[in-house]
Amino acid sequence: MRRRAVPIRKWPVAERPRERLLRDGPASLTDGDLLAILCRTGRTGVSALTLARHLLARFGSLRGLDTAEAGALREVPGLGPAKIAQLKAAFEVGRRAQSEAKRPKGAATSSRAVYAFLRPLLRDRPKEAFLVLLLNRRHAILDVVTVSEGSLAESPVYVREVLAAAQRGHAAALLCAHNHPSGHPAPSPEDEAVTEELVHAGRLLQVPVLDHLIVGETGYFSFADAGLI
């Protein structure tokens, strides 16, 4: 117990998480060790490693910590804005790296391939996020734009913002996607209404909406695959 109150910088060099990572590689470290490196410091009487282990115990897992709201994180003694930002940034970098590895090569015409690309970006978001994939004339992905986060109740706002993103990005076609934090990808009446308006508006502007995916916990729903686009 006494060691836990000793700052990591005063530990024997061979036992410090950062030095062990550089010597043995990141895979050799525990989740707590990795979090301790991100936290860098603990608080009075508590080392960074003890703080990291407390975070894992409080939120249950790395995934639980990742999806925790900033307000819940602020309640943890020793976890201030800087540490919260570092943790959130690290988790986001990991998500983007996973997504990049699944980025469709060539035309994004397979709903399964698009889902694999978007799943790391959308699955664990605590709120609904609406993304737009801007496509070129060959339907390759030019960019991914987060239009908004929140509910899909006010569909006209989303339609305007989606079309504005398409025009700014000089897109020739669009793919839309959002997540269901509940984990169930079945479309709601609001989802269906938004999709219908997006498809109609896209036709008017000659920027077709090719699909709208809903990402859930373990699967997805494709409006195109269901014959609804």
pLDDT for residue 152: 53
Q: Where are the domains of the chain?
A: 3-98, 102-222
Q: Measure the N-to-C terminal CA separation of the chain; round to a whole number of Å.
A: 62
- pLDDT averaged over consecutive 10-residue blocks of the chain (229 residues)? 61 85 95 95 90 96 93 94 96 93 92 96 88 97 91 64 94 96 92 94 95 95 97
Give the pairing type, strands 220-222 and 209-215: antiparallel
Q: Is the dihedral of CA 133, 123, 51, 7 positive or negative?
A: negative
Q: Which of 168, 176, 169, 163 is nearest to 204 (CA)?
A: 163
Q: Which of 189, 190, 195 is nearest to 222 (CA)?
A: 195
Which helix (H) or strand (E) segment is 97 a member of?
helix 81-101
User: Which single residue is written with the structure tokens 């115990």?
Assistant: 57
Assess whether the region 3-98 and the region 102-222 belong to the same CATH fold: no
* 132 in Cβ contact with 195 (< 8 Å): no
pTM of the shown model: 0.79
pLDDT for residue 157: 65
Q: Which of 189, 165, 187 is nearest to 175 (CA)?
A: 165
**CA 211 – CA 224 distance, rounded (Å):** 5
Q: Does the domain made of 3-98 have the CATH classification 3.40.1620?
A: no
pLDDT for residue 218: 87
User: Which single residue is written with the structure tokens 């999709």?
Assistant: 195
Collapsed DSSP state (helix, strand, coil) of residue 55? helix
At 115-170, the pLDDT tens digits run 999 999 998 888 889 999 999 999 999 999 999 887 654 445 688 899 999 999 99
| Nearest 10 degrees: Cα torsion 42, 48, 50, 51 | 60
Question: Which strands form 220-222's sheet, in the order they lie side by side?
Answer: 141-149, 129-135, 173-179, 209-215, 220-222
Q: Does the domain made of 102-222 have the CATH classification 3.40.140.10?
A: yes
Which helix (H) or strand (E) segment is 71 a member of?
helix 70-74
Tokens, residue 126? 């605590």
pLDDT for residue 187: 96
pLDDT for residue 154: 47
pLDDT for residue 112: 97
pLDDT for residue 148: 86
